[in-house]
């Protein structure tokens, strides 16, 4: 009986221990020849999910390189940053990551330099302005993946109904145009102003650029609550939000809502990137595009956005990563850009897209490329600043901009001090 | 010796009367000294592993400095707590968490009392309606919340369409876009999903009250309100208390309703502490852990307070 008790106790103990042991083993992929790639999903429906693209890329790559295997995990935009963070924290670091920002990982010394994982030929093929945006303190870590510039979209039919001949060139003209659309009831939302968490930092920057403002000064210090930026939001409040010429709660309206509204013919104008071209066409909206209006005239520098590819040092798979990246950037770039109507980041893809006549609708975006201004992407604190802006930045369109932007500035300064 | 081989049944039965019982008894006396420990050890270990260890880990995280990409950079002391209490929305979030919990729990309890009373009556179709009451409970809370989110949507929502068609409003409202309208709607949904469980708890309580007590009251000439107050309510207390405790904890920790309907936004205007904690995770995981610790402390205090009050009731 005594022994039985001991045995039972031991068995129960072993059981309990095995339960605790479950959490201990973080699967370290020992196989040097398997690259783990985590990528964001650019698709908006099943038929154009990024998984489809990556699967076909991997298939072709593995056909040519029998010794290297690639595991792909595609995560949607809302979750990718959180999930990657968890991966890093638990030591389950991917080898390649394709997402929105890279500099925070440089600050933690997690990434290979671009030179280490790209052949000189591939590196030379990158459009210089984007390659430059991938630099932290003069060394390139971020490898541009796709890019876009922003222009003003307007619904021609709505304009016709409201008796508007020309698209607006200044803020005042824009407000006037919106007023006309409202009066004639040509569209539910005359100007769609999405300042919700999805991309508050994008729409804000476009408007601030229009007033000569922006996120940093020439020395790279944050100036989120500069006089010009506060002025910008005051103007938005007084001329668009309060008169009811846009959403009643811009801070809780996401970009995807605005895009969907425009594609459904419910919005008169909005700032958009190339994906909206496809959406508008699918919605049979007769749209026009023009340079985004600034306070006193069309913007000379519009917002340029790039998404990034980065390679992690953790697995030590430099050679395998290099092989894969060279393959993708040389042969599969154009396919991705054409799949989503994005703008390329490599010279050869840009040339092809500009010359093959299939992408006339992208020409206005290409035209803006030279003057594009980026977020302070190379600043290691930017990812925190951008996340804070997504959370609360939009409130500046309804509450006191000075207070909201002041809070953000305080957080940005703290973050900058912490990452140095 | 007894560890080497199990005693045969024969030797055991022989031992019961004879001398050989001595060593066995001494050994079992040793085991007895451990008391019930060997038997509850597995459970204790399990609790250590799945309850205590995460809490320790949580508290440890809240004192660490973790970069946004997820790398631990050393100790942060109490910095993260200071940062948390300094957040411009913190006071607002705490205030609304209290309001949210109090309003949802008390409305739920009140409505459930009525509903339970109703379902305790005999009426045609009672079993059908009792089944129907389970529906909001059986449906996933997340699904219910998403359903309401779309019903309340500004451009596509059915509520705006109905109100517009009836001429009650002349411009469609963005119900979930600002906190003044979002809070009441979310509270409504929270009450809606809490009702079935609470009603069933109270209904079960009602059915344990023996009929002869009511009969006695009727004979003594008590009116319906008096009967309800001095018989039904006191006898319902145990069920009522269970309902309150479980609802308090559920509602306080409620995440899916708020997350699905407003994501706690704009800013943190419609966040409770749980949602706020989740949002902090995007920028600073250690600060988020600090929020969790505070949250945990609040739940503990809430429960202790409640236990105290209910025990006081018992003695009374």
The tens digit of pLDDT for each residue in A309-341 reads 999 998 899 999 999 999 999 989 889 988 888
B265 touches chain A (CB under 8 A): yes
The residue among B288, B41, B12, B214 whose CA lies nearest residue A1 is B12
Q: Looking at the structure, do residues A156 and A266 belong to the same domain, yes or no?
A: yes
Q: Looking at the structure, do residues B66 and B168 belong to the same domain, yes or no?
A: no
Phi, psi of A249 (to 5 degrees): -130, 80
Q: How many CB atoms lie within 10 A of CB A247?
A: 28
C-alpha distance from residue A57 to each of A64, A329, A332, A333, B266 (Å): 11, 11, 7, 10, 40
Q: What is this model's ipTM?
A: 0.77
Q: Looking at the structure, do residues B146 and B203 belong to the same domain, yes or no?
A: yes
The tens digit of pLDDT for each residue in B127-146 reads 899 888 888 888 899 999 99
CA–CA separation, A90 and A334 (whole Å)? 35
**pLDDT at residue B200, as a whole number:** 94
pLDDT surpasses 70 at A2: no
C-alpha distance from residue A190 to each of A26, A243, A266, A273, B202 (Å): 52, 11, 8, 18, 52
- How many Cα neighbours within 13 Å face the side chain of B46? 8
C-alpha distance from residue B224 to each of B173, B218, B221 (Å): 44, 9, 10
Question: Is residue A3 in a domain?
Answer: no
pLDDT surpasses 60 at B315: no
CA–CA separation, A296 and B179 (whole Å)? 35
Q: Does B70 sit within 8 Å of A391, measured CB to CB?
A: no
**pLDDT at residue A12, as a whole number:** 47
Q: What is the dihedral of CA A330, A375, A153, A346, to 10 degrees?
A: -10
Q: Which range of residues forms the domain containing residue B33?
A: 18-80
Phi, psi of A272 (to 5 degrees): -145, 165
Q: Looking at the structure, do residues B196 and B265 belong to the same domain, yes or no?
A: yes
Question: Is residue A11 in a domain?
Answer: no
Q: Looking at the structure, do residues A284 and A413 belong to the same domain, yes or no?
A: yes
pLDDT band at residue A47 using 50, 70 and 90 as cut-offs: confident
**The three-state (H, E, C) secondary structure of chain A, written as one string:** CHHHHHHHHHHHHHHHHHHHHCCCCCCCCCCCCEEEEEEEECCCCHHHCHHHHHHHHHHHHHHHCCCCEEEEEEEEHHHHHHHHHHHHHCCCCCCEEEECCCHHHHHCCCECCHHHHCCHHHHHHECHHHHHHCEECCEECCEEEEEEECEEEEEHHHHHHCCCCCCCCEHHHHHHHHHHHHHHCCCCEEECCCCCCCCHHHHHHHHHHHCCCCCECCCCCECCCCHHHHHHHHHHHHHHHCCCCCCCCHHHCCHHHHHHHHHCCCEEEEEECCHHHHHHHHCCCCEEEECCEECCCECCCCEEEEEEEEEECCCCCHHHHHHHHHHHHHHHHHHHHHHHCCECCEHHHHHHHHHCCCCHHHHHHHHHHHHCECCCCCCCCHHHHHHHHHHHHHHHHCCCHHHHHHHHHHHHHHHHHHHC
The tens digit of pLDDT for each residue in B215-246 reads 998 898 888 899 998 889 999 988 998 899 88
The tens digit of pLDDT for each residue in A271-309 reads 998 889 988 999 999 999 999 999 999 998 889 889 999
Q: Looking at the structure, do residues B202 and B72 belong to the same domain, yes or no?
A: no
Q: Which range of residues forms the domain containing residue A349?
A: 34-147+306-369
A386 touches chain B (CB under 8 A): no
The tens digit of pLDDT for each residue in A400-416 reads 999 999 999 999 998 88
Q: Looking at the structure, do residues B139 and B101 belong to the same domain, yes or no?
A: yes
Averaged pLDDT, B28-49 = 84
> In angstroms, how far is CA A216 from the centroid of its own chain?
19
B177 touches chain A (CB under 8 A): yes
pLDDT surpasses 90 at B199: yes
Sequence length of chain B is 316
CA–CA separation, B298 and B214 (whole Å)? 41
Q: Looking at the structure, do residues A157 and A221 belong to the same domain, yes or no?
A: yes
**Residues of A with Cβ-Cβ distance to B284 under 8 angstroms:** 384
pLDDT surpasses 60 at A24: no
Q: Looking at the structure, do residues A412 and A325 belong to the same domain, yes or no?
A: no
Q: Which residues 2-61 in chain B show a CB within 8 A of chain A?
A: 2-3, 6, 24, 27-28, 31, 38, 41-42, 45-46, 49-50, 53
Which CATH number covers residue B283? 1.10.3720.10
Q: Does A384 sit within 8 Å of B267, measured CB to CB?
A: no
Q: How far is A88 from chain B (nearest CA, A)?
A: 6
Q: Looking at the structure, do residues A415 and A286 belong to the same domain, yes or no?
A: yes
The tens digit of pLDDT for each residue in A82-99 reads 889 889 888 889 999 999
**Residues of B with Cβ-Cβ distance to A86 under 8 angstroms:** 70
Total domains in chain A come to 2
Q: Looking at the structure, do residues B106 and B139 belong to the same domain, yes or no?
A: yes
Question: Is residue A274 in a domain?
Answer: yes
Question: Is residue A336 in a domain?
Answer: yes
Those residues whose C-beta lies under 8 Å from the C-beta of residue B90, and which sit 6 or more positions away, are: B84, B276
Question: Is residue B8 in a domain?
Answer: no
**Residues of B with Cβ-Cβ distance to A110 under 8 angstroms:** 69, 71
**Residues of B with Cβ-Cβ distance to A38 under 8 angstroms:** none
**pLDDT at residue B19, as a whole number:** 47
Which CATH number covers residue A351? 3.40.190.10
Question: Is residue A350 in a domain?
Answer: yes
C-alpha distance from residue A136 to each of A106, A223, A377, A380 (Å): 8, 20, 8, 8
The tens digit of pLDDT for each residue in B94-129 reads 999 999 999 999 999 999 999 999 999 888 988 899
Total domains in chain B come to 2
Q: Looking at the structure, do residues A188 and A280 belong to the same domain, yes or no?
A: yes
**Residues of B with Cβ-Cβ distance to A9 under 8 angstroms:** 38, 41
Q: Which residues 1-40 in chain A show a CB within 8 A of chain B?
A: 1-6, 8-9, 12-13, 15-17, 19-20
Q: Looking at the structure, do residues B279 and B310 belong to the same domain, yes or no?
A: yes
C-alpha distance from residue B96 to each of A65, A156, B99, B268 (Å): 58, 45, 5, 11
pLDDT over 70, % of chain B: 89
Q: Looking at the structure, do residues A181 and A229 belong to the same domain, yes or no?
A: yes
Q: Looking at the structure, do residues B213 and B257 belong to the same domain, yes or no?
A: yes
Tokens 């699904």 belong to residue: B143
CA–CA separation, A235 and A239 (whole Å)? 6
As a whole number, the mean pLDDT across chain A is: 88
Q: For the purposes of burial, counting CB atoms within 10 Å of the CB of A165, is it exposed (0-12), middle (13-18) or buried (19 or more)? A: exposed
CA–CA separation, A345 and A140 (whole Å)? 15
> In angstroms, how far is CA B257 from the centroid of its own chain?
14
pLDDT over 70, % of chain A: 93
Q: Does A87 sit within 8 Å of B68, measured CB to CB?
A: no
Question: Is residue A16 in a domain?
Answer: no
**Residues of A with Cβ-Cβ distance to B71 under 8 angstroms:** 88-89, 108, 110
């Amino acid at each position: 009986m005594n022994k039985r008790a001991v045995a039972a106790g031991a068995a129960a103990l072993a059981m309990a221990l095995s339960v605790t042991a479950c959490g201990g083993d973080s699967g370290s992929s020992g196989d040097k020849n398997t690259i783990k790639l985590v990528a964001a999903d650019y698709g908006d429906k099943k038929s154009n999910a990024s998984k489809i693209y990556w699967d076909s890329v991997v298939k072709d790559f593995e056909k040519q390189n029998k010794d290297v295997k690639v595991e792909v995990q595609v995560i949607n935009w809302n979750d990718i940053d959180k999930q990657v963070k968890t991966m890093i924290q638990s030591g389950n670091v991917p080898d390649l990551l394709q997402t929105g920002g890279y500099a925070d990982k440089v600050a933690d010394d997690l990434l290979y330099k671009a030179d280490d994982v790209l052949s000189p030929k591939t590196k030379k093929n990158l459009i210089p302005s984007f390659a430059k945006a991938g630099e932290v303190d003069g060394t390139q870590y971020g490898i541009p993946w796709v890019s876009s510039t922003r222009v003003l979209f307007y619904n021609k039919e709505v304009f016709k109904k409201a008796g508007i001949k020309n698209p607006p060139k200044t803020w005042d003209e824009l407000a006037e145009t919106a007023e006309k659309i409202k009066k004639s009831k040509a569209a539910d939302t005359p100007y769609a102003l999405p300042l919700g968490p999805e991309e508050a930092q994008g729409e804000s920057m476009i408007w601030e650029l229009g007033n000569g403002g922006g996120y940093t000064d020439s020395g790279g210090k944050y100036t989120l609550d500069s006089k010009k930026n506060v002025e910008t939001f005051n103007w938005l409040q007084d001329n668009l939000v309060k008169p009811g010429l846009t959403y009643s709660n811009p801070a809780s309206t996401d970009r995807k809502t605005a895009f969907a509204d425009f594609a459904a013919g419910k919005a008169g104008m909005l700032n958009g990137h190339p994906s909206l071209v496809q959406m508008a066409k699918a919605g049979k909206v007769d749209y026009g595009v023009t340079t985004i209006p600034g306070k006193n005239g069309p913007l000379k520098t519009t917002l340029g956005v790039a998404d990034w590819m980065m390679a992690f040092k953790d697995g030590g798979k430099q050679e395998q990563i290099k092989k894969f990246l060279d393959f993708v950037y040389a042969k599969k770039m154009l396919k991705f850009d054409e799949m989503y109507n994005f703008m390329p980041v490599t010279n050869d893809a840009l040339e092809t897209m500009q010359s093959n006549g299939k992408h006339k609708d992208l020409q206005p975006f290409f035209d803006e490329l030279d003057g594009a201004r980026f977020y302070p992407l190379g600043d290691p604190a930017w990812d925190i600043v951008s996340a804070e802006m997504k959370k609360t930045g939009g409130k500046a369109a309804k509450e006191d901009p000075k207070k909201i932007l002041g809070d953000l500035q305080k957080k940005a300064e703290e973050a900058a001090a912490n990452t140095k | 010796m007894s560890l080497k081989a199990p005693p045969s049944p024969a030797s055991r039965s022989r031992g019961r009367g004879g001398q050989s019982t001595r060593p066995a008894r001494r050994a079992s006396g040793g085991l007895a000294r451990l008391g019930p420990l060997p038997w509850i050890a597995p459970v204790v270990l399990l609790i250590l592993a799945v309850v205590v260890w995460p809490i320790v880990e949580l508290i440890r995280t809240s004192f660490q400095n973790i970069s946004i990409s997820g790398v631990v950079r050393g100790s942060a002391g109490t910095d993260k707590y200071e940062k948390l209490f300094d957040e411009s929305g913190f006071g607002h979030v705490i205030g609304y968490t209290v309001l949210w919990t109090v309003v949802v729990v008390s409305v739920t309890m009140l409505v459930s009392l009525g509903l339970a009373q109703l379902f305790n009556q005999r009426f045609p179709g009672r079993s059908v309606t009792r089944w129907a009451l389970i529906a909001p409970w059986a449906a996933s809370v997340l699904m219910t919340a998403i359903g309401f989110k779309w019903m309340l949507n500004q451009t596509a929502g059915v509520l705006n369409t109905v109100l517009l068609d009836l001429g009650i409003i002349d411009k469609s409202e963005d119900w979930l876009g600002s906190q003044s309208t979002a809070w009441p709607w979310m509270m409504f949904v929270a009450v809606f999903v809490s009702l079935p469980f609470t009603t069933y708890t109270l209904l079960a309580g009602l059915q344990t009250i023996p009929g002869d007590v009511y009969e006695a009251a009727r004979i003594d000439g008590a009116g319906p309100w008096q009967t309800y107050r001095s018989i039904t309510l006191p006898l319902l207390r145990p069920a009522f208390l269970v309902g309150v405790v479980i609802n308090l904890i559920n509602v306080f920790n409620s995440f899916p309703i708020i997350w699905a309907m407003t994501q706690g936004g704009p800013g943190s205007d419609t966040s409770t502490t749980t949602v706020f904690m989740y949002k902090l995770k995007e920028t600073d995981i250690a600060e988020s852990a600090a929020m969790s610790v505070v949250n945990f402390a609040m739940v503990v205090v809430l429960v202790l307070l409640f236990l105290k009050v209910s025990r006081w009731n018992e003695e009374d």
